Amino acid sequence: MRSERLYRLLDPEASGPARAFRGVHHAMVAAGIGIMIADTEAEWRLAWRIELDIGFWIVCAFFVAEYVLRLAAAPRAPGAELRGRWRSRLEWAGSMAGVCDLVGTLPGALAIAFGPDFGSLFGFVWGFKLVRYAPGLVLLQRVISDARRALLSVLLAFCLVLLCAASLAYLIERGAQPQVFGSIPAALWWAIVTLTTTGYGDVTPLTTLGRMLAGIVMVSGILVFALWAGILATGFAEEVRRREFLRTWDLVAKVPFFHDVGAAVIADVARLLRPREYPPGAIIVRQGALGDCMYFVASGEVEVQVRPEPVVLGPGEFFGEVALLTGGVRNATIVAARQCTLLILDIVDFRELLGRQPDLARIIHKEAERRPGEAARSSEWETRRHRGPRS
């Protein structure tokens, strides 16, 4: 049980005590990097030597203790119980997260071997410990892993262009500038600078053919890096879309309204719905405004401001569909009663969805028609509670 609590404490996705640990962890990373930077300033080092050394050793001790605790808690990771304790720990130690945490202990080990002055110079490695808490970097790692073949193909093209550029520059310019282009290894510096379009200007071709070659190499460099950027951007966009789809799927699956429509309909709806968070008191729709979307309550509560008393809608209920069905305006102002997550369906997607999913369209029309007649005719309120169970 203790190891389970320890694992939850160290889990970057957990809340409660884990959130407090994250705060301490990030503070230690910031302190360690700050100490490394301050240690390189001679005046600061002279004035605050003792304080900097004490702070450095505290940070080192914290990250060594963290590594030991994560190693001890590794058997409580999901699925680790099937592998055994020591095998789970060995697999964690060999993973990317384990290696990053091990590298985080490097400044302390170097400080013990060569002194704090030397060990603090490697404090920059503590910055890599934030990767675990940065979903975007984890996402980028997955993108690079998935697109590694395409990226390696472009890298091969880059190397071929680089080699050809250096070889041709050697053949063309060696007579005019033997001190710069006297060999292919020497010409590689010019080829790298030109292909990356850095253009330091320290080495430039003098002959006409050499300058023509430089222009071709520059354009080739732009094309190569554009390919790299395009591959990464496409992969990143697909991963973000996939992650948002899974998040939306989870929210849709929790809405009682969709419990009986089937997985195919949920998948269709999840591609169209957009989750949005609203703080307490936020105005979601205003009375008299044009209706351009409908809302499903995934979590929290919203309040329909109608007379004689407000109506509260909770998880599984929806509102805003009457304006989409009739083309009218909003009949009531609706605010967030407390923190809530709503799934928004745009009017264009609403009509497309109703065309593709006649069963879902039938349910929505039926729910709208079941409202009190005066609500639709006399502009009272356009919301309707779904009678399913609350989640």
**CB crowding 187-197: b at 16 or more within 10 Å, else e:** bbebbebbbbe
- Residue 149 phi/psi, 5-degree rounding, is -65, -45
Q: How far apart are the first and last CA of the chain?
A: 29
Please write the tens of the pLDDT for every residue from 13-27: 777 788 889 899 999
In this predicted structure, the answer to whether residue 31 has a pLDDT above a threshold of 90 is: yes
Between 31-35, 59-63, 279-283, 384-388, the lowest mean confidence (pLDDT) is in 384-388
> Could you state, in order of their start, the residue ranges of all structural domains in the chain?
2-133, 148-239, 274-377
Which fold does the domain 274-377 belong to in CATH?
A: Jelly Rolls (2.60.120)
pLDDT confidence tier of residue 371, bands split at 50, 70 and 90: low
Say which residue, 359 or 211, is predicted with more confidence. 211
Give the tokens for residue 323: 């304006």
- Rounded CA-CA distance 199/120 in Å is 35
Quote the DSSP letter at residue 126: G
Please write the tens of the pLDDT for every residue from 106-162: 998 898 888 878 888 888 889 888 888 877 777 777 888 888 899 999 999 999 999
pTM over 0.75: no
Q: What pLDDT was estimated at residue 378?
A: 36
In this predicted structure, the answer to whether residue 386 has a pLDDT above a threshold of 80 is: no
**Is CATH 1.10.10.60 correct for 148-239?**
no
State mean pLDDT over 180-192: 90
State mean pLDDT over 59-87: 84
- Rounded CA-CA distance 107/112 in Å is 9
Q: What pLDDT was estimated at residue 156?
A: 92
- 274-377 matches 148-239 in CATH topology: no
Please write the tens of the pLDDT for every residue from 234-293: 888 888 777 777 777 776 766 666 666 666 667 777 777 788 889 998 999 888 888 788
Q: What pLDDT was estimated at residue 381?
A: 40
Percent of the chain with pLDDT over 90: 22
Query: In the sheet that 333-336 helps form, which strands lie side by side, from edge to edge?
Result: 283-285, 333-336, 302-305, 311-313
Please write the tens of the pLDDT for every residue from 171-180: 999 888 888 8
Q: What pLDDT was estimated at residue 384?
A: 46
- Rounded CA-CA distance 204/218 in Å is 13
Please write the tens of the pLDDT for every residue from 305-346: 888 888 888 887 778 877 776 767 888 889 999 888 888 888
State mean pLDDT over 352-375: 63
pLDDT confidence tier of residue 30, bands split at 50, 70 and 90: very high
